[in-house]
């Protein structure tokens, strides 16, 4: 199989990322897109439905250093909801909240609380992907359609994934067959919008550059079904695999498998609860999200120390890690040399893991909203293409302490 060198997407070029940096940040690899029956270029947008998009858009600017770039709402003919488009590096978040009491977003929010409704992917050929999806038995939620405005044309379609989550497929290049590129801020219906918000003096340009992976939580016994869906329908490949004792504590357990698209920009670990003495964190999620959904988004940074310091200043709360984790000689021996002294990680409660390819630094926030559901991970990769397997036990014990405080263990 011939490998085609992977190129930067427009979003990545606009964010001034370079290819070598991105290979390090998210583990990007070369692959043959021509032979892929369902080629995926990368992430297009992560769409959240929240209880109050106006205020959430402010939170992502003030706490997470994101930039407001676009908007859709009643002032521009969208009477159903307000939607704010925010960027950080190559990542685009779209935050939606109902305006009309009849908006379908209300039922979604009532059922799930704040959460991810759409993991939208950029593809080079929407029709090719949908033909494949149909042949492989996927549920098509929206047939391919072209929408245009003065900035050009975009072709979209959507397929269903776990729970009420969807993948909208977005083609921004060559929709008219003439090589043209859509140049609007997001999609037709959105207008450019900036914000008067001013960052604190000395704050970095951004706190994260790219999206590394999104974890999906599914019901007991459904993990292999969804791994099969991504293999069969979207041609995703299996990466690492964690089962049984790998990620069990005394009380709770889960199973996890990871699939990725051809160039590895898009990585989906899929979790299901495993039988254990007490309620697994996955069970808690499924109860409070009322079903399967996106559990965490891993945001890639090239300076996790600085990012964590900035986020703590904004009162973003992280899971705690006991000092014993850092003082354990076995752990120190396994980790070896990393780019900063272990003391610097200990101060910030940043976890570290090493495998045969290198190491990674990571930390997890507490749930972002009111329900114990969606949260973020901050990750800094140095060669490792793993997901912090060596940290799962320490991490889950920390999650259990929080679950116990909530009365959900």
- Looking from the CA of 42 toward its CB, the CA atoms found within 13 Å total 22
Sign of the dihedral defined by the CA atoms of residues 302, 306, 310, 315, in that order: positive
Residues binding Fe ion (CB under 5 A): 298, 377
Provide the 8-state DSSP code for 2.
Answer: P
Q: In the complex, what is the shortest distance from the CB of residue 213 to Fe ion, in angstroms, rounded to a whole number?
A: 6
Q: In the complex, what is the shortest distance from the CB of residue 212 to Fe ion, in angstroms, rounded to a whole number?
A: 8
Give 28 or 298: the residue with its C-beta nearer to Fe ion.
Answer: 298
Give 186 or 268: the residue with its C-beta nearer to Fe ion.
Answer: 268
Which element (helix H / strand E) includes 68?
Answer: strand 67-72
Q: In the complex, what is the shortest distance from the CB of residue 113 to Fe ion, in angstroms, rounded to a whole number?
A: 21
Q: In the complex, what is the shortest distance from the CB of residue 221 to Fe ion, in angstroms, rounded to a whole number?
A: 22
Give 169 or 351: the residue with its C-beta nearer to Fe ion.
Answer: 351
The conformational region for residue 388 under phi > 0 = left, psi -120 to 50 = alpha, else beta, is left
CB of 163 closer than 8 Å to CB of 115: no
Q: In the complex, what is the shortest distance from the CB of residue 392 to Fe ion, in angstroms, rounded to a whole number?
A: 10
What proportions of the chain, in percent to the nearest 5, are helix, strand and coil? 30, 30, 40
Q: In the complex, what is the shortest distance from the CB of residue 191 to Fe ion, in angstroms, rounded to a whole number?
A: 34
Give 17 or 298: the residue with its C-beta nearer to Fe ion.
Answer: 298
Give 87 or 296: the residue with its C-beta nearer to Fe ion.
Answer: 296
Which element (helix H / strand E) includes 344?
Answer: helix 342-348
Provide the 8-state DSSP code for 73.
Answer: S
CB of 154 closer than 8 Å to CB of 332: no
Both structure tokens of 64: 């997470």
Burial class of residue 178 (count of CB atoms within 10 Å of its CB; 0-12, 13-18, 19+)? exposed
Q: What are the two backbone dihedrals, phi and then psi, of residue 229, each rounded to the nearest 5 degrees?
A: -60, -50
CB of 358 closer than 8 Å to CB of 369: no
Strands 91-98 and 115-122: unpaired
Q: In the complex, what is the shortest distance from the CB of residue 379 to Fe ion, in angstroms, rounded to a whole number?
A: 7
Q: Is 264 annotated as a binding residue?
A: no
CB of 402 closer than 8 Å to CB of 355: no
Q: Is 296 annotated as a binding residue?
A: yes
Q: In the complex, what is the shortest distance from the CB of residue 282 to Fe ion, in angstroms, rounded to a whole number?
A: 13
C-alpha distance from residue 218 to each of 34, 213, 263, 389 (Å): 32, 16, 25, 19
Give 44 or 377: the residue with its C-beta nearer to Fe ion.
Answer: 377
Q: Is 81 annotated as a binding residue?
A: no
Give 164 or 212: the residue with its C-beta nearer to Fe ion.
Answer: 212
**How far is 265 from 37, CA to CA, in rounded Å?**
17
Give 47 or 298: the residue with its C-beta nearer to Fe ion.
Answer: 298
Binding-site residues from annotation? 213, 296, 377
Binding-site residues from annotation for Fe cation? 213, 296, 377
């Amino acid at each position: 199989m011939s490998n085609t060198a992977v190129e930067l997407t427009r979003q990545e070029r606009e964010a001034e990322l370079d290819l070598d940096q991105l290979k390090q940040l998210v583990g990007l690899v070369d692959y043959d897109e021509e032979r892929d029956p369902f080629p995926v270029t990368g992430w297009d947008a992560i769409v959240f439905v929240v209880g109050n998009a106006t205020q959430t858009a402010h939170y992502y600017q003030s706490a997470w250093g994101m930039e407001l770039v676009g908007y859709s709402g009643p002032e521009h003919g969208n009477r159903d909801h307000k939607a704010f488009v925010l960027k950080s590096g190559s990542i685009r978040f779209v935050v939606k909240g109902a305006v009309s009491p009849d908006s379908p977003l209300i039922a979604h929010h009532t059922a799930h609380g704040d959460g991810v409704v759409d993991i939208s992917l950029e593809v080079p050929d929407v029709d090719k992907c949908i033909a494949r999806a149909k042949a492989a038995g996927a549920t098509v939620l929206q047939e391919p359609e072209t929408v245009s405005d003065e900035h050009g044309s975009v072709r979209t379609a959507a397929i269903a994934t776990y729970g009420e989550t969807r993948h909208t497929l977005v083609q921004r290049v060559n929709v008219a067959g003439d090589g043209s590129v859509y140049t609007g801020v997001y999609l037709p219906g959105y207008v450019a919008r900036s914000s008067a918000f001013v960052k604190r003096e000395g704050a970095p340009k951004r706190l994260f550059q790219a999206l590394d992976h999104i974890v999906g939580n599914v019901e007991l016994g459904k993990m292999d079904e969804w791994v099969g869906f991504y293999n069969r329908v979207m041609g995703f490949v299996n990466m690492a695999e964690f089962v049984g004792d790998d990620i069990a504590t005394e009380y709770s357990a889960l199973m996890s498998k990871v699939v990725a698209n051809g160039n590895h920009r898009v990585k989906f670990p899929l979790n299901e609860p495993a039988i254990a003495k007490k309620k697994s964190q996955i069970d808690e999620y499924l109860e409070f999200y009322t079903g399967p959904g996106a559990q965490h988004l891993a945001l890639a940074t090239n300076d996790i120390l600085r990012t964590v310091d900035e986020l703590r200043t904004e009162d973003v709360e992280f899971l705690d890690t006991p000092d014993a984790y850092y003082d354990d000689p076995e752990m120190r021996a396994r980790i070896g040399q990393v780019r900063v002294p272990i003391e610097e990680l200990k101060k910030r409660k940043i976890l570290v893991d090493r495998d045969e390819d290198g190491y990674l630094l990571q930390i997890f926030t507490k749930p972002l909203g009111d329900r114990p559901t969606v949260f973020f991970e901050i990750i800094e990769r140095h060669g490792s293409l793993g997901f912090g397997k060596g940290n799962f036990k320490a991490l889950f014990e920390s999650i259990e302490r929080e679950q116990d405080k909530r009365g959900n263990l």
